[in-house]
A = this chain, B = another copy of it.
């Protein structure tokens, strides 16, 4: 099987999963929301909000930034998309939602390329640190800048 076919399959999986998540939580994956999600999936990496505006607009219809932001907010609330604060951009959240694991987005400081890793070990260590800081709960997402190997 070709790499392309593999990726296509992976894309379909993500789309299907998004559909399931929404169905199970009584959320409406409207056309615009799905188009935004699909665009993020196909890009394979972080994409800026205004970039999404351009990509989902055409000659006939130009989407307003706020439309994209609303779709992104929805997808984030649904746990399907994660915002990269350091890059002002948005990426698909991969992987099965393991409640006990921390979802770490490693971001290459130079290229902006991202790799997502789940770690319950980090989750536990962060929980301890949070307690020390007087925090009772922490986000299951975090973002760490670094340098990718080669």
Q: Which of B86, B116, B133, B146 contacts A137 (CB 8 A)?
A: B146
Cross-chain contact A142 with B142 (CB below 8 angstroms): yes
Q: Tell me the dominant secondary structure on chain A's binding face.
A: strand
With a cutoff of 8 Å between Cβ atoms, the chain B residues found around residue A90 in the complex are: none
Bound-complex Cα distance A149 to B135 (A): 5
Q: Which of B109, B119, B138, B149 contacts A146 (CB 8 A)?
A: B138
A residues 120-141 touching B (CB-CB < 8 Å): 121-122, 124-126, 128-130, 132-139, 141
A34 at the interface (CB under 8 A from B): no
A115 at the interface (CB under 8 A from B): yes
With a cutoff of 8 Å between Cβ atoms, the chain B residues found around residue A143 in the complex are: 85, 142-143
A145 at the interface (CB under 8 A from B): yes
Cross-chain contact B106 with A135 (CB below 8 angstroms): yes
Cross-chain contact A148 with B136 (CB below 8 angstroms): yes
A15 at the interface (CB under 8 A from B): no
A22 at the interface (CB under 8 A from B): no
Binding site for B on A (CB under 8 A): 85-86, 104, 106, 108-109, 115-117, 119, 121-122, 124-126, 128-130, 132-139, 141-149
Lowest 4 CB-CB distances: which A-B pairs, in order?
Answer: A138-B146, A85-B85, A115-B133, A122-B125
